[in-house]
Structure 1
Amino acid sequence: MLYGIAAAATALLLSALLAELLRVPALRLGILDRRRRWALPLSGGTAVVLATGLVAGLGDRAGLAPLGTGVGRLLAAGAWVGVLGLAADVWRLRWWIPLAGTAVAAALVVPYAETGVSAGVLAVAWVVAVAAAFRGLDHADGLAGTVAALAAFGVAACAAAEPMEGIAVLMAVLAAALAGFLLHNWHPARVGLGAGGSLFTGFVVASSAVFVRAGQGIGVGAGVLFAVTAVACADAALVVLGRRLSRWPVTRGRPDHLGHRLRRLGLAPRAVTVLLAAAALGGVLAGVGVHTGRMSGGAALWVAAVAAVVVLALLRLPVTPVFRPRQRSSEASVQVSERLRVRSG
């Protein structure tokens, strides 16, 4: 117990410190969120990955909080997914490359002995889908980090009820690392999460949830897994369904996520984050309640029903056709110099 508190506090402080220290190198290397009109360095994802890996890994190595063989492999696979996401941030890899790497990592960590082959394959697909959903959720200041921290706390509570101490410690450390990152990511954000941090977070949360529910009822398990990640799943469903209906390529970005549509209703950026965080908290509480037996499986069905109603309602809102991507500073400076030269001439 005491180690868990100390580990969480260490992860929070380390993540906050690393996010600030890595900010300038990320700016100089051009590791930026290209969807914005100002330079937002994506140092937060690296900070979350490093803080989570160092604190949980050192605790396991020192014997203070052994993760176990399966959980240690999960953390290593998550680090691989984080590196792959960072590569996508730097080199703008094709969309399928990070997802393919995430699928390979998920296939290596799913506990097939408890799930069975068929359910294990479904679990791999679900882990990949959740990782992609968290990457898509990283479209508003503070949103992905807050929702992910709540989901991690939910999975930690489910793991503690088993008890599965390794998963519980890992999720507590991850939630604390995300909280440290959020000190810099609340609107207006100074650092971003990026593909590296969002894919890592989604992968670790989803894989840990699979570990916790492995060997239990598939129907109830699916409800629990959805409830703890309801906001991310609803955002992904809204995007895919909306783009399919409008015949827009699913892999081509545009401002049609939950946060974007709520902003069109007149909500302020911070209000959007708070509202969706409250929704995520409700889903997490329902998922933990169902897992621990304090609520019936119907609570997870209510979460799914509410998510479906919200998705269908927001589909009716109009969407701006395309992003207006931020120009790189070098390109912008060249254009400004050219305009001044023409005017002076």
Structure 2
Amino acid sequence: MLYGIAAATTALLLAAVLTAMSRMPALRAGILDRRCRRPLPVLGGLAVVAVTCLVAWAGEWTGVARLGDGVARLLVAATVVAALGLVADVWRLRARVLVAGTAVAAACVVPYDETGVPGGMLAVGWIVFASLTFRGLDHADGLAGTVGVITAFGAGACAAAEVMDGLAVLLSVFAAALTGFLMHNWHPARVGLGACGSLFTGFLLSSAVVFTRAGYAIGPSAAVVFCLGAVAAADAVLVVLARLVARHPLLRRRPDHLAHRLRRLGMTPQGSVVLLGAGSFSSVLVGVLVHTGWTGGQAVLWVAGATLLAVLVLLRIPVQPPRRTESTQVTGHLRVRSG
């Protein structure tokens, strides 16, 4: 307990300092989020990855908090995915390269002995999907970090319930590091998460959930997994449906994500993140309660219904301001990041 508190505190402070220090090198090297209308350095994700690995491996090396073979392999694979994301931040990479690299890393960490081959294949698909959706969730200041912290606490609670102490410590350290990063990422953000940090976040959290649900039936596991990733999944489904309906390319960046549409309703950047964070907390709480047996699986239907309703409602919100005409003058514009 004392080590967990000390490790989390150390991770938070180190991440806050390293994130601040990463700003100037990223600006000078031109490692910027090209989706923004203002230059936003994106080496903050690298700081989160470095601190998480440093603190977690310190516990492993000293023997104070052993990760275990499976968790250590998970952390190594997540770091490899983060490295792939860093390459994407510095040089543009095709989406299929990111998908293929993430799939290979996921295939190396899934515990097939407990999931079986069919379940393991589904787990690989989920990890890839979650990793990419977290990258898409990084479309507004503070959103990916906020949802990531909440999900990390939920996954950590599930790991603790399964007496996976190494995984629970890793997730607490990661949540603390992400919180330190959020000190600089809240609107107006001074540093971004980037593909490095967002892919690492999605991969680590989704793999951790797979570990905690290994050995359970596929149906109940899918319900818990959905609850823990409901906001990220809703954002991905909303974007895909909107672009298919509008016949826009799926991979072309557009301001049509969750936070963009909430901004079009008149919400502030901070308000939209708080609202989505509250939604994430509610769905994650249901997932934890279902996993621990405190409530029945019927509660997942409420989460699914609320998620579907939100997607359908927000799908009707226009994502572009009306064009200038002789009778209509646009008096303002929406300053958001597209992706």
Q: TM-score range by the shorter chain?
A: over 0.9
Structure-2 residue corresponding to 1:150: 150
Distance 1:200 1:156 in 2: 16
- Distance of aligned partners of 1:222 and 1:74 in 2 relative to their CA distance in 1, 3 Å threshold: same
Look up the equivalent residue of 2:163 and give its one-letter code.
P
2 CA distance for matches of 1:219 and 1:21?
45
Q: For residues 286 and 71 of structure 1, what CA distance do their matches in structure 2 show?
A: 25
Taking the aligned partners of 1:324 and 1:224, their CA distance within structure 2 comes to: 35
Distance 1:239 1:96 in 2: 18
Distance 1:304 1:61 in 2: 42
Deviation at 1:34, TM superposition (A): 0.6
Secondary structure of the corresponding residue to residue 278 of structure 2: helix
Q: Distance in 2 between matches of 1:124 and 1:60?
A: 26
CA contact (8 A) 2:130 2:232 kept: yes
Measure how far apart 1:325 and its partner are.
11
Supply the distance in 1 between the matched residues of 2:212 and 2:67 (Cα, whole angstroms): 13
What are the within-5 Å matches in structure 2 for residues 316-327 of structure 1? 316-320=316-320
- Asked if structure 2 preserves the Cα contact closer than 8 Å seen for 1:67 and 1:167, the reply is yes
User: Do the aligned partners of 2:112 and 2:120 also contact (CA within 8 Å) in 1?
Assistant: yes
- What is residue 285 of structure 1 aligned with on the other side? 285
Q: Tell whether the 8 Å contact from 2:255 to 2:336 is kept in structure 1 after alignment.
A: no
The 5-angstrom pairing of residues 217-236 of structure 1 reads 217-236=217-236
Hey, what does 2:44 align to over in structure 1?
44
Does the 8 A contact of 1:34 with 1:325 survive in 2? no
Alignment-mate amino acid for residue 57 of structure 1:
W
| Contact 2:224–2:291 (8 Å) recurs in 1 | yes
Map of 2:20 onto structure 1: 20
Q: TM-score, normalised by structure 1?
A: 0.92
TM-score scaled by length of structure 2: 0.94
2:126 match: secondary structure: helix
Structure 1 window deviating more from structure 2 (127-136 vs 299-308): it is 299-308
Aligned residue number for residue 299 of structure 2: 299
Instruction: Determine the C-alpha separation between the residues in 1 that align with 2:17 and 2:301.
Output: 40
Identity fraction in percent: 62
How many Å separate the matches in 1 of 2:44 and 2:32?
A: 11
Determine helix, strand or coil for the equivalent of 2:224. Answer: helix
Residue identity in the other structure for 2:116: G
For 1:309, the aligned partner's letter is L
CA distance in structure 2 between the partners assigned to 1:244 and 1:84 by the alignment:
28
Q: Does the 8 Å contact 1:228/1:284 carry over to 2?
A: yes
In the alignment, the residues of structure 2 paired with residue 5 and residue 112 of structure 1 have an alpha-carbon distance, to the nearest angstrom, of 33
Query: Cα gap change, 1:30/1:67 in structure 2, threshold over 3 Å: closer, same or farther?
Result: same
CA contact (8 A) 1:254 1:320 kept: no
- Counterpart-to-counterpart distance in 1, 2:166 and 2:297: 26
Residue 212 (structure 1) aligned with residue 212 (structure 2): yes
Instruction: Extract structure 1 runs of 4+ deviating beyond 3 A.
Output: 323-326
Aligned residue in 2 for 1:5: 5
Residue in structure 1 matched with residue 61 of structure 2 by the alignment: 61
Q: Is the 8 A contact 1:35 1:324 kept in 2?
A: no
Tell me if structure 1 keeps the 8 A contact 2:234–2:307. yes
Pair 1:325–1:255, CA change in 2 (3 A): closer
TM-align CA RMSD: 1.4
Shift of 1:320: 2.4
* CA deviation map 1:53-75 (0-9, x unaligned): 11011111211111100100000
Aligned length: 325
Contact kept, 8 Å, 2:140 with 2:336, in 1: the verdict is no
| Structure 2: tracts of 5 or more residues without a match | 322-333
Corresponding letter in the other structure for 2:166: G
- Which secondary structure does the structure 1 equivalent of 2:190 belong to? coil
- Alpha-carbon offset, residue 171 of structure 1: 0.6
CA contact 2:133–2:232 (8 Å) conserved in 1 = yes
Q: Secondary structure at the match of 1:116?
A: helix
Residue 130 (structure 1) aligned with residue 160 (structure 2): no
CA–CA separation in structure 2 for the residues paired with 1:239 and 1:129: 14
Q: Distance in 2 between matches of 1:113 and 1:297?
A: 25
Q: Which runs of no fewer than 5 residues in structure 1 stay unpaired?
A: 327-345
